[in-house]
């Protein structure tokens, strides 16, 4: 299986990276190929809402999102990886998802698999409610097949994350696909 990880943290050595790396290692050990995009390092402009794409055509914006589009449309699975920012996903990840509008139908037609990897400092049981709801809505809208969510509560620093159960859970999720 071909897997694309959209890693939305601007902190390349942070807790989100730890989960993305663990997931990648597990998936690769199971024989899957993984391509990862560190979105904060890419030149991706926000959707302008011009609809020149007709919701299924080329985007008028010429930036690094074309690489993501090609990878996503050539993949079998999308993994969304993000720190929790004000109870939602990072702006870097949201910007890429907004650009899906130029190829929504192509994503939907593929019936791709998906997963969510997220981390937060907060460890309250309601910490991820809004992000979970957004992800589930996205899965439904794009006709994705959810393979699971790793929601790292209490992962405020890389050290906290490394010493938690979440890297192992991310590895297992990738390895059991």
Q: What is the pLDDT of residues 91-146, one digit of tens each?
A: 999 999 999 999 999 999 999 999 999 999 999 999 999 999 999 999 999 999 99
Contacts of residue 82, Cβ cutoff 8 Å, sequence gap at least 6: 8, 9, 16, 89, 90, 93, 116, 117, 118, 131
In which band, very low, low, confident or very high, does the pLDDT at 12 lie, cut at 50, 70 and 90? Answer: confident
What are residue 85's DSSP bridge partners?
88
The total domain count for the chain is: 1
pTM: 0.97
* CATH number of residue 37's parent domain: 3.40.50.360
**Domain hosting residue 107, numbered range:** 2-175
């Amino acid at each position: 299986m071909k897997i694309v990880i959209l890693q939305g943290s601007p902190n390349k050595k942070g807790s989100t990276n730890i989960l993305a790396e663990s997931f990648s290692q597990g998936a690769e050990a199971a024989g899957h190929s993984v391509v990862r995009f560190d979105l904060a390092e890419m030149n991706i402009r926000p959707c302008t809402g011009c609809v020149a794409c007709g919701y299924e055509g080329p985007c008028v914006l010429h930036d690094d999102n074309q690489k993501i589009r090609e990878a996503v449309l050539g993949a079998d699975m999308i993994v969304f990886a993000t720190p929790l920012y004000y109870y939602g996903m990072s702006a870097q990840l949201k910007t890429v998802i907004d650009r899906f509008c130029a190829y929504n139908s192509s994503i939907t037609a593929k019936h791709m698999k998906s997963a969510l990897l997220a981390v937060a400092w907060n460890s309250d049981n309601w910490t991820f409610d809004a992000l979970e709801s957004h992800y589930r809505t996205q899965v439904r809208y794009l006709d994705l097949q959810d393979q699971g969510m790793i929601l790292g509560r209490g992962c405020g620093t890389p050290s906290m994350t490394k010493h938690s159960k979440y890297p192992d859970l991310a590895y297992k999720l990738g390895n059991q696909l």
